[in-house]
Structure 1
């Protein structure tokens, strides 16, 4: 235990000896002097915690000494106890306390009172110093927390920037591949070429799916994943999922079936995109790990309460199954049941991790039951509100992509494949288009010519799309500050889209884009 330094100041040595004899103990250091000036020096040089000061001393009395101690930042926190033989009148006590003393001891000293008072102040000092130490530790810890928080935020920003760039760099060429495949599909082809185009589309869509899985996980981790509930035709959605995966099942000669509860309502309120994603991952996974037999999607009502029903989606397969010790592992990111599974069946190990995260976000329950070498059952259960009166789906009929011969478009795109793709599409719609390869050329071209709308890629050399949009909105091309500008971005994080809108973009389209959506937006912003 650290010793406490106690200073005794008295002009009479016999009084000092008496106090020292009374206070002597192992946990304190007693320092004494008969000279007030010496007392000041000791107080400045040593860590004095308590000072017992005689009031009546020649040259400098106790009140003057304490005033000097209290006026110095280095000594102001010393606890002063006056020791006096003068009158016990209130005015003297008040003067001492006003000077800065915390207590009085009166001569002749009562050994019990003196010892008790000094003990209490020693304990007070220890508590005070412990608090100060704790405060220092808390401050240091707080600084570490602030530093850790800043590092975490910096890491998060780096990660988001990396994901945005990765998304753009990978999705941009995939957009070109899918777009070119669509264009080729509309040209005269023999059966062999049609088959190759079909394989090209399946491969590019598969690659796009893996990238979207990675981005979805990142959005979930960043807390930027939103659940949007809309009116959903549950039977139609299940049928769509099965039809999409039927080819893969047929290739493996698997029986892919659905069993729907006859009591299922026509429509429920659900995030159909995410529910579709869960079922696609679970059924796709079942097909992947089943070499013979069947995969079945069962949908049943397990509970109801008022206008809400609890629906259980079960995907049952006759596949390889999972060993009990590996069941938890399969839900971890980039993990599969074991190394042999990865070698034999491939895959990223992302699907079930995404299902687990989506199930948690949606407030549902995800369960798995499995017998090794016999098969597995994955179940997702959640509550849904029943939609009693369904509104007609106005988007079920595709709009015909009519020509737009009087529209003039400025396209800013640096990727040669995407440039070719967009120009070809616009030409098919009889749109007059000028093309530039960076934001600087785009704003100069806009300054020189009239355009009805600008299609601007977000990431370009020399000047990126967002900087170009800001300059246009700030009047770089006089009179054209309000021209509609649609940005193309292969980044799909919500904050990327918000950044584009904040920069002044009229609308944002993700790559790859649907022709119908692009046509609809051009029509919307060029029809006055």
Structure 2
């Protein structure tokens, strides 16, 4: 450890020798002595002096003046000064020394024990100050490193978000085209074999959509931007939909799919229906993947109820390959599956159950699993579902081509993807809409200036001029009728800030690809009817 420099200033050499002798046994000190105050000042300027013991009575410059000079300069004002005096102990001398900047007094003749104890105490204080200073420097460096790490993490988060946004857009755009074709084919006259092919294609596109949604959901959960949306929904209809959906898929693998109910289950509840479906669908899809023969069962049990709601357990049991006991803890971790060899055989991202676990936590529920190798597995989700105050009527499920016609409705479609533009126009034309198609935002603006439209369907990501810029340009037109044309954006982006940006520039609704024809029809009819009502004389 570096020694502390201590200056002794006294005009009498014998006093210096005496004081040096008293302090030499203190190992932490390096003693420098002078009889000339001016020379001592130079030493304080050029050496790292920490403590100064200064005689009060000196011929050329007294101790008070010397200490005042030290304290008046930033290079030396940190030096701890102790006045050493043989003059009276009157208060006026003590006050003068303290006013000059001294921190203590020693009186001649010096008491060896007191002198050493005081100097040792000051050395200890200095060591503590040095330690605090070093810790502060370390904290400052650590703070800068943390700030840099935070900036790097934020940059990485934004880069990941941008990548996911682009990936979502690039994948959802072709999926939307595929699913639109599927919607059209399902309304066509097909043979049994052709209809089976279409259903297989539908299942494949839905599986691809599940994967991209899983990736985006995991990102949202990690960044804390995931939102739970509680709503009234029909539990009985939810169960019926599960039955219809998975019986078809089970039939394709020659499996049985059963639904069992236990207890007096409610008809309507308040919960996040989409996330509940995501959890149960994940369980059943896993069972379908890993079950070659036998039965998959969805068991819904009312565990308990009170005045606020119902505690319900959803359990999916299969007769599949099972999972080894030592692999069970891994299956709810991201990018993990029970066995690497099984992954190679059956595929999968390993994201589904990780998202299920995090969704369960966000929904204040619990998940768990049991399994026996070669006999099958069971997965459960249990949570409180609140009581519903309304009875929701079930919506009719009919093909979009049977919806009431929209006679006389002129719609502009701005979409740069040819397949999506073609299928969107085809869908609109089945409702008897008149449709024009353009491929970028600039063409959309030009078309609005040339013709009168009842509605614009605008893709947000297009070349030349984006959908956002096109909407802003339309909303800045001087023609009141044209600037007030209702606009729906149809975007492949599922990022909240992009959807919010669409509303900010003037979009009335945002529809995410792949979209549901029922949702599109509902939005179009509400906006067209609203616009026509506003324009009545």
Alpha-carbon displacement from aligned partner over 1:414-465 (angstroms, at most 9, x marks no partner) = 1111111222222333333332222233233333433332221111112221
> What is residue 18 of structure 1 aligned with on the other side?
18
Task: Give 5+ residue unaligned stretches, structure 1.
Answer: none
> What is residue 428 of structure 2 aligned with on the other side?
426
Shift of 1:239: 2.5
Structure 1 residues 405, 217: CA separation in 2 closer, same or farther (over 3 Å shift)?
same
1:370-449 matches, within 5 Å, as 370-387=371-388, 389-393=389-393, 395-396=395-396, 401-449=403-451
Alpha-carbon displacement from aligned partner over 1:302-357 (angstroms, at most 9, x marks no partner) = 23344333212111112111111100111222221112211222222222112111
- CA–CA separation in structure 1 for the residues paired with 2:500 and 2:92: 73
> What is residue 297 of structure 1 aligned with on the other side?
298
Aligned residues: CA RMSD: 2.1
> What is residue 211 of structure 1 aligned with on the other side?
212
Alpha-carbon displacement from aligned partner over 1:282-303 (angstroms, at most 9, x marks no partner) = 1121122122221111111223
> What is residue 63 of structure 1 aligned with on the other side?
64
Shift of 1:469: 2.4
Give yes or no for contact 1:178–1:201 (8 Å, CA) kept in 2: yes
1:57-456 matches, within 5 Å, as 57-387=58-388, 389-393=389-393, 395-396=395-396, 401-456=403-458
Structure 1 residues 192, 397: CA separation in 2 closer, same or farther (over 3 Å shift)?
closer
Question: After the TM superposition, which of the residue ranges 431-440 and 414-423 deviates more from structure 2?
Answer: 431-440
Question: After the TM superposition, which of the residue ranges 484-493 and 273-282 deviates more from structure 2?
Answer: 484-493
Shift of 1:162: 0.7
Shift of 1:207: 1.3
Structure 1 residues 81, 444: CA separation in 2 closer, same or farther (over 3 Å shift)?
farther
Shift of 1:159: 0.7
Give yes or no for contact 2:457–2:488 (8 Å, CA) kept in 1: yes
Task: Give 5+ residue unaligned stretches, structure 2.
Answer: none
Structure 1 residues 475, 36: CA separation in 2 closer, same or farther (over 3 Å shift)?
farther
- CA–CA separation in structure 1 for the residues paired with 2:229 and 2:510: 19
- CA–CA separation in structure 2 for the residues paired with 1:58 and 1:469: 89
Structure 1 residues 243, 40: CA separation in 2 closer, same or farther (over 3 Å shift)?
same
Shift of 1:470: 2.9
Equivalent pairs counted in the alignment come to 527
- CA–CA separation in structure 2 for the residues paired with 1:431 and 1:491: 26
> What is residue 3 of structure 1 aligned with on the other side?
3
**Which aligned runs of 4 or more in structure 1 are off by greater than 6 angstroms?**
476-479
- CA–CA separation in structure 2 for the residues paired with 1:476 and 1:44: 76
Shift of 1:259: 1.4
Give yes or no for contact 2:268–2:392 (8 Å, CA) kept in 1: no
- CA–CA separation in structure 2 for the residues paired with 1:188 and 1:250: 23
Give yes or no for contact 1:261–1:301 (8 Å, CA) kept in 2: yes
Structure 1 residues 449, 375: CA separation in 2 closer, same or farther (over 3 Å shift)?
same
Structure 1 residues 66, 451: CA separation in 2 closer, same or farther (over 3 Å shift)?
farther
- CA–CA separation in structure 2 for the residues paired with 1:479 and 1:392: 38
SS in 2 for 1:50: strand
Structure 1 residues 308, 478: CA separation in 2 closer, same or farther (over 3 Å shift)?
closer
- CA–CA separation in structure 1 for the residues paired with 2:412 and 2:303: 56
Give yes or no for contact 2:234–2:392 (8 Å, CA) kept in 1: no
SS in 1 for 2:301: strand
SS in 1 for 2:331: helix
Give yes or no for contact 1:8–1:52 (8 Å, CA) kept in 2: yes
SS in 2 for 1:509: strand
SS in 1 for 2:209: helix
- CA–CA separation in structure 2 for the residues paired with 1:75 and 1:447: 78
Give yes or no for contact 2:233–2:392 (8 Å, CA) kept in 1: no
> What is residue 524 of structure 1 aligned with on the other side?
526
Give yes or no for contact 1:443–1:476 (8 Å, CA) kept in 2: no
Shift of 1:385: 2.3
- CA–CA separation in structure 1 for the residues paired with 2:369 and 2:410: 56
Structure 1 residues 46, 482: CA separation in 2 closer, same or farther (over 3 Å shift)?
farther
- CA–CA separation in structure 2 for the residues paired with 1:479 and 1:74: 76
Shift of 1:7: 1.2
Give yes or no for contact 1:219–1:493 (8 Å, CA) kept in 2: no
- CA–CA separation in structure 1 for the residues paired with 2:481 and 2:99: 77
Give yes or no for contact 1:363–1:382 (8 Å, CA) kept in 2: yes
Give yes or no for contact 1:488–1:510 (8 Å, CA) kept in 2: yes
- CA–CA separation in structure 1 for the residues paired with 2:85 and 2:474: 85
- CA–CA separation in structure 2 for the residues paired with 1:147 and 1:477: 51
- CA–CA separation in structure 1 for the residues paired with 2:384 and 2:310: 6
> What is residue 489 of structure 2 aligned with on the other side?
487
Give yes or no for contact 1:443–1:477 (8 Å, CA) kept in 2: no
- CA–CA separation in structure 1 for the residues paired with 2:467 and 2:100: 72
Give yes or no for contact 2:309–2:385 (8 Å, CA) kept in 1: yes
